[in-house]
């Protein structure tokens, strides 16, 4: 902390010197001669005036009664600033006046306005009078811009703004649904994919949390340009929100942002690290909340889904203003139902009718009745370990597979009174069809969700120039999803004494208690999560000499997330409180008491309900995660001198301090192990990963921005109507603490318990066990410092053409898990070719050599890389906007952007098997002897050579006003020009554009809007092209033997083309004179079904649709009512 403060102080002196010079400069005037090309849609006055300020460079201050509750008509075409301002305010109760040469105040008219909309001349207020003595003190709204802290914004920044009305016209019920329709957002982590055990997506190559801790239920993340959710910065009113609780990638859960509180959404796709810091590499999304509202309004919406994912949304907005301040509050409540998988068309795991003979995903080794094998004699390889109980079998050279003899009763048999002869017997493996396969799939996707939230905004003027503010956001949600009727640990070791065991010997039975779940004998299995978010921001603005603003703010935001799951399980640890009764029932000779895993579930012993355990296995263990960010910022901004008549130089300079804390804990106690003389230590959550209970990162930053007008319209330079240069620079210093090699593992003696089906009792072995103890003296501090510069150019060759170009160099410091871990490398295992892949070492001193088991090469996993480098990214962008004079209302926009990483941090395990020839040349991966022979492979995070992303967007808009209303057609096209990564400099490019798990090659969108009197209607179409799954099927020997197989080679992938998709959304709105607004419509109104695909995004069971591209809610129709009670017009 002291070193950060010292660095900030050292760099603050030149900054303060520049500030003194700036404050001494004269204010500049607004250039009314410049002709602006505008396309401002009908919206609330505050948002429309913000767009005009951004286009003109003039600071527009809006009074509280004028910002959010007054609608203005749109404005399209070429205007001088004063003409545009007057046109916007025509037929409203608003008027404007210049409070200084380059600052305009818009407020309720104090006198009868002139035709131009400008205020009649009024006597200047007495500067010596107090606030209490004045009848009409100035009440100025806070202005929020995105991608810059400059007053009026950065003209060179390409920011896309969507008002609340823009979003509502699309018919969506939440922000996740809205962003799914944007071509530049890759919906890889959404509410329909997040509860998978693993996330197989492009950004998961780099994510530290590719497997979400706990379960991912109720989580959705923004992923701009496919650069990763960890590189998309989400703000609210220009300030940070806490990421999802306990997730190191620190992404904001989109489902926790209330749509009803949003006035507009700003999106900057070019990255904005020079303004906000390193986590804005991929882009910025800024949610601007409603403020300065006067009155009361209520909204209710009911949505009906063709797949039962119905939802209800209700909210109330209330606002009140007084002479020197105002307060606005929005309370929201929403509920939604999960997706019924059966209604998506997913009713079976037998996909053979869809894809061919290889695609039967039913389970042949478990079921109801249970699949039985008679256990062979136990093998105890080491007396310190429990013996191995396995189904005996032998290798079949014809099928090239290990085969075992299995038995299963017919589907109609209860198991009561069965003999061994009643069983159907076959010899096979996991791919050999059983008599009664298990065809049990998850009943739900998504979640049953309840969400409540409150957003509060307050402003108070102490003087005309000093304003204080406070913003509060609170949100809580609860999520629930039913799990499939399968059983964890379903391989039961049943003794010969069991009343239903007819084999006279111990057996293994893989059983799925489907009937018991259906009849309620077993409670429903489920996943559950709960989250809460709190954010409070306070601060103040002090206007200095009419042209400068001092801003001070503090922001604290915190997120909690808890998850758990309930599972039935067929195993018990000896230390489990139910173990004794469970194994007694499993061994019981009494049919009334004994567990019966042999039949169809209709003859079950009374003890069967004891299968249920609290907690479950794997990702469903109880989990609690916390993320907290504290941020403090001081800045001065304003206008300085006009160099040569082109306009005033606008500046901002400031300092920032931020502290981030992310940690989690997860129940991981093992009920099979017990310390004999000492208690076993279990290191959990963040403590386990980085050696600290509350990992903390401290960030100190200095930043500055300059907007320099170089050419103005009055200079009359051919093909140079105006030219503006923006310079931005941010210096960041990161300090992160963690433990490296600080885990001590003294050996202690333990009892290792296990169930012996031959003896029908719980036994144990005694062995030594490494007891994990952290050494606090091993705590280290990692420091990373660097700067993020940006250069932007705003150029208008003519009043109708606008060019924007920018370059930005950014960096991203390594995270906790990149740099720290107290854990030693995982125990070694064999690294060699196997039946699934052939691994060749091209760097062997004897030439390319296949790595076989007899070479003795081992592999270990190391959680961190001590000398890993920071990532660096160059962002390039260019955009063109043209509004031709010959066709008023037409607007063309072209956008190009490129991101080029060096030293991107990635996980080597993603490529080591498929691309060993490149990774085995890295010293941090391959350990060799003096001769060069490969000895060991270390799986760890590495810096790869390059990651490249390039996109292009084009859009044509047109507005034409007719006697039948205003028509607004629009068409858009987006394309990934390239997207690849390179492991090392000389390696080939690896791309997944147009593939499952990657972005679409291109996307078309089109819309048609219509407004006439109190009516409006909008239709939106989105088309995504076909794409390919290059790893659709991994061919094995069983596949080659099938008639009609697509496989031609064993252990090779077969690909599958996935068809295109076109969806249509529509809304119709009617506004009544009494304040009631009725809106109806739907998304996917043509009910387009999912293109056939296979993705494993629901607990690893394959589902026949790609939930990252097709919304499994199907067709959603809705009705929405909104009533304004006494709101100001």
pLDDT of residue 98: 65
Reply yes or no: is the peptide bond before residue 369 cis, omega within 30 of 0.
yes
pLDDT confidence tier of residue 16, bands split at 50, 70 and 90? very low
- Span 242-262, pLDDT tens digits: 999 988 889 999 999 999 999
Most confident of 146-150, 485-489, 1099-1103: 146-150
Q: What is the mean pLDDT of residues 543-560?
A: 94
pLDDT in the model for residue 18: 36
Is residue 205 scored above 50 in pLDDT? no
Of the listed ranges 317-321, 425-429, 894-898, 1037-1041, the least confidently predicted one is 1037-1041
Q: For residue range 995-1004, what is the model confidence (pLDDT) as tens digits? A: 998 999 999 9
* Overall average pLDDT of the 942-965 stretch: 94
Which pTM does this prediction carry? 0.85
The predicted structure's pLDDT at residue 617 = 39
1079: pLDDT strictly greater than 90: yes
Q: Whole-angstrom Cα distance, residue 119 to residue 105?
A: 10
| Percent with pLDDT over 70 in the chain | 88
Contacts of 38 by beta carbon, 8 Å cutoff, 6+ apart: 51, 52, 55, 75, 76, 77, 78, 79, 84
pLDDT of amino acid 722: 93
Which residues, at least 6 apart from 617, have a Cβ–Cβ distance to it below 8 Å?
488, 489, 567, 569
> Residue 165: how many CB atoms within 10 A of its CB?
18
Output the pLDDT for position 133: 35
The enclosing H or E element of 11 equals helix 2-24
Write down the pLDDT at residue 134. Answer: 31
Average pLDDT over residues 694-722: 93
Predicted pLDDT of residue 54: 65
User: Looking at residues 721-735, what average pLDDT do you find?
Assistant: 95
Burial class (CB in 10 A: 0-12, 13-18, 19+), 880: middle
Output the pLDDT for position 69.
58
Task: Give the separation between CA 572 and CA 747, rounded to whole angstroms.
Answer: 26
How far CA 916 is from CA of 195, 284, 842, 920, 1051, in Å, comes to: 31, 36, 9, 6, 17
The whole-number pLDDT of residue 141 equals: 46
Nearest residue to 1117 (alpha-carbon basis) of 1089, 1071, 1080: 1080
Average pLDDT over residues 158-174: 94
Q: Is the pLDDT of residue 836 over 70?
A: no
CA distance 1041 to 263: 61
When pLDDT is averaged across residues 529-555 and rounded to a whole number, the result is 95
Which position has the higher pLDDT, 772 or 897? 897
Q: Give the residue from 498, 506, 675 showing the smallest Cα distance to 591.
A: 498
Measured in degrees and rounded to the nearest 5, phi and psi for residue 662 equal -135, 125
Cβ(307)–Cβ(402) below 8 Å: no
Mean pLDDT, range 517-538, rounded to an integer? 92
Band (718; pLDDT cuts 50, 70, 90) = very high
Q: Is the pLDDT of residue 210 over 50?
A: no
Q: Is the pLDDT of residue 1098 over 50?
A: no
pLDDT for residue 51? 74
Reported as a single tens digit per residue, the pLDDT across 92-127 is 777 777 654 566 777 766 433 333 333 333 333 333
Choice between 954 and 836, residue whose per-residue pLDDT is larger: 954
pLDDT of residue 130: 34
Does residue 1119 contact residue 312 with C-beta atoms inside 8 Å?
A: no
The residue-averaged pLDDT of 384-408 equals 86
Q: Is the pLDDT of residue 1097 over 60?
A: no
pLDDT at 77 > cutoff 80: no
Supply the pLDDT for residue 474: 97
Looking at residue 214, its pLDDT comes to 63
Q: Give dist(CA 967, CA 982) in Å, integer.
A: 48
Please give the average per-residue pLDDT across 303-325, as a whole number: 96
Query: Cα 793 from chain centroid?
Result: 31
Instruction: Say if CB 79 and CB 32 are below 8 A apart.
Output: no
pLDDT at 608: 75
Task: Compare 659 and 522 and report the one with higher pLDDT.
Answer: 659
Question: Residue 950: is its pLDDT beyond 90?
Answer: yes
Distance CA 838, CA 850 (A): 7
Handedness of CA 1003, 1008, 1014, 1015 (dihedral sign): negative
Contact by Cβ (8 Å): 1000, 1022: no
Q: What pLDDT, on a 0 to 100 scale, did the predictor assign at position 241?
A: 95
Average pLDDT on 130-140 reads 35
With cut-offs at 50, 70 and 90, classify the pLDDT of residue 59. Answer: low
Q: What is the mean pLDDT of residues 560-583?
A: 86
Q: How many other C-beta atoms are found inside a 10 Å radius of the C-beta of residue 338? A: 25
Backbone angles phi, psi at 517, to 5 degrees: -70, -40
Is 409 a residue whose pLDDT tops 90? Answer: yes
Mean of pLDDT over the chain = 85
Predicted confidence (pLDDT) at residue 129 exceeds the cutoff of 50:
no
Q: Given pLDDT bands bounded at 50, 70 and 90, which one contains residue 826?
A: low
- Share of residues in the chain with pLDDT > 90 (%): 55
């Amino acid at each position: 902390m002291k070193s950060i403060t010292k660095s900030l102080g050292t760099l603050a002196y030149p900054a303060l010197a520049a500030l003194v010079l700036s404050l001494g400069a004269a204010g500049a005037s607004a250039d009314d001669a410049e002709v602006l090309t505008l396309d401002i849609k009908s919206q609330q006055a505050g948002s429309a005036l913000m767009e005009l300020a951004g286009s003109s460079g003039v600071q527009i201050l809006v009074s509280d009664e004028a910002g959010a509750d007054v609608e203005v008509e749109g404005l399209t075409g070429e205007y001088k600033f004063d003409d545009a301002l007057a046109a916007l305010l025509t037929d409203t109760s608003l008027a404007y006046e210049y409070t200084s040469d380059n600052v305009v105040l818009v407020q309720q008219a104090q006198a009868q306005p002139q035709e131009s909309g400008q205020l009649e001349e009024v006597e200047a207020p007495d500067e010596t009078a107090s606030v209490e003595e004045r009848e009409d003190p100035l009440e100025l709204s806070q202005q929020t811009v995105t991608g810059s802290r400059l007053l009026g914004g950065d003209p060179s920044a390409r920011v896309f703004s969507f008002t609340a009305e823009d979003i509502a016209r699309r018919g969506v019920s939440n922000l996740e649904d809205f962003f799914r329709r944007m071509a530049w957002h890759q919906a890889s982590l959404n509410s329909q994919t997040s509860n998978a055990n693993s996330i197989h997506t492009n950004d998961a190559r780099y994510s530290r949390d590719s497997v979400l801790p706990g379960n991912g239920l109720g989580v959705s993340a923004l992923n701009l340009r496919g650069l990763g959710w960890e590189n998309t910065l989400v703000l609210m009113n220009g300030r940070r929100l806490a990421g999802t609780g306990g997730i190191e990638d620190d992404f904001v859960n989109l489902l926790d942002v209330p749509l009803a509180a949003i006035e507009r959404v700003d999106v900057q796709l070019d990255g904005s690290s020079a303004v906000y810091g390193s986590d804005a590499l991929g882009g910025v999304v800024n949610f601007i909340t409603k403020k300065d509202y006067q009155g009361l309004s209520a909204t209710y919406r009911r949505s009906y889904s063709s797949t039962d994912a119905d939802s209800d949304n209700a909210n109330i907005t209330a606002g009140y203003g007084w002479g020197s301040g105002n307060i606005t509050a929005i309370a929201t409540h929403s509920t939604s139902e999960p997706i019924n998988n059966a209604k998506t068309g997913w009713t079976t795991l037998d996909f053979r009718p869809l894809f061919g003979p290889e695609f039967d995903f039913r389970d042949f080794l478990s079921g109801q009745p249970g699949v039985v094998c008679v256990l062979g004699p136990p093998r105890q390889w080491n007396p310190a370990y429990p013996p191995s109980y396995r189904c005996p079998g032998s290798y079949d050279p014809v099928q090239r597979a290990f085969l075992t003899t299995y038995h299963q009763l017919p589907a109609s048999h209860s198991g009561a009174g069965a003999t061994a002869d009643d069983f159907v017997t076959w010899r096979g493996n996991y791919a050999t069809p059983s008599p009664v396969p298990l065809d049990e799939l998850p009943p739900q996707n998504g979640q049953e969700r309840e969400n409540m939230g409150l957003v509060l905004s307050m402003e108070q003027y102490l003087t005309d120039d000093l304003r204080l503010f406070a913003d509060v956001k609170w949100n809580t949600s609860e999520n629930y999803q039913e799990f499939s009727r399968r059983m964890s640990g379903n391989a039961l070791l049943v003794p010969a004494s069991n009343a239903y065991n007819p084999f006279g010997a111990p057996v293994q039975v893989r059983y799925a208690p489907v009937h018991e779940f259906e009849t309620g004998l077993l409670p429903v299995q489920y996943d559950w999560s709960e989250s809460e978010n709190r954010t409070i921001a306070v601060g103040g603005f002090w206007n200095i000499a009419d042209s400068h603003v001092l801003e001070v703010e503090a922001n604290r935001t915190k997120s909690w997330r808890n998850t758990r799951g309930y599972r039935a399980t067929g195993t018990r640890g000896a230390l489990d409180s139910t173990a004794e009764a469970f194994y007694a029932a499993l061994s019981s000779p009494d049919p009334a008491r004994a567990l019966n895993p042999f039949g169809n579930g209709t003859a079950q012993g009374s003890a069967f309900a004891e299968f249920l355990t609290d907690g479950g296995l794997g990702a469903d263990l109880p989990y609690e995660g916390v993320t907290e960010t504290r941020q403090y910022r001081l800045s001065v901004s304003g206008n300085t001198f006009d160099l040569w008549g082109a306009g005033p130089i606008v500046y901002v300079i400031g300092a920032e301090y931020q502290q981030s804390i992310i940690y989690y804990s997860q129940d991981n106690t093992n009920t099979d192990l017990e310390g004999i003389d000492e208690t076993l230590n279990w290191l959990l959550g963040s403590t386990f990963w980085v050696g600290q209970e509350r990992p903390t990162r401290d960030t100190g930053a200095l930043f500055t921005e300059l907007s320099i007008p170089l050419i103005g319209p009055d200079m009359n330079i051919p093909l140079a109507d105006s030219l503006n240069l923006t310079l931005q620079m941010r210096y960041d210093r990161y300090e992160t603490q963690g433990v490296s090699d600080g885990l001590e593992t003294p050996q202690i003696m333990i009892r290792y318990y296990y169930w012996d089906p031959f003896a029908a009792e719980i036994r144990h072995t005694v062995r030594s066990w490494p007891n994990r103890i952290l050494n606090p003296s091993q705590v280290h501090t990692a420091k990373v410092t660097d700067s993020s510069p940006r250069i932007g150019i705003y150029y208008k060759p003519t009043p109708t053409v606008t060019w924007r170009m920018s370059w930005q160099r950014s960096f991203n410091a390594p995270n906790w898990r990149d740099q720290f871990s107290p854990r030693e490398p995982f125990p070694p295992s064999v690294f060699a070719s196997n039946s699934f892949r052939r691994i060749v070492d091209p760097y062997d001193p004897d030439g390319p050599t296949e790595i076989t088991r007899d070479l003795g090469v081992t592999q270990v996993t190391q959680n961190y890389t001590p000398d890993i480098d920071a990532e660096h990214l160059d962002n390039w962008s260019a955009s063109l906007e043209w509004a031709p004079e010959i066709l008023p209302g037409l607007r063309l926009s072209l956008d190009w952007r490129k991101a080029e990483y060096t030293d991107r941090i990635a996980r080597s395990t993603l490529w080591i098997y498929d691309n060993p020839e490149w990774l085995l040349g890295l010293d941090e991966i391959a350990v060799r002897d003096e001769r060069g022979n490969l000895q060991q492979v270390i799986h760890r995070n590495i810096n790869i050579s390059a990651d490249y992303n390039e996109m292009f967007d084009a859009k044509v808009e047109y507005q034409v006003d007719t006697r039948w209303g205003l028509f607004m057609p629009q068409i858009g096209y987006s394309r990934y020009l390239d997207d690849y990564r390179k492991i090392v400099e000389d390696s080939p490019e690896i791309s997944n554009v147009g593939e499952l798990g990657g972005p679409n090659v291109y996307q078309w969108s089109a819309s048609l809007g219509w407004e006439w009197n109190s009516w409006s209607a909008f239709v939106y179409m989105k088309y995504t092209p076909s794409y390919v799954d290059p790893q659709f099927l991994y061919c094995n020997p069983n596949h080659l033997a099938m008639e009609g197989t697509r496989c031609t080679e064993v252990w090779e992938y077969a690909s599958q083309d996935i068809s295109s998709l076109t969806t249509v959304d529509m809304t119709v709105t009617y506004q009544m004179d009494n304040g009631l607004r009725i809106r109806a419509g739907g998304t996917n109104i043509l009910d387009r079904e999912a293109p056939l695909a296979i993705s494993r995004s629901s607990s690893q069971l394959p589902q026949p649709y790609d939930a990252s591209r097709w919304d499994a809610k199907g067709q959603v129709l809705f009705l929405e009512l909104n009533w304004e009670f006494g709101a100001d017009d």
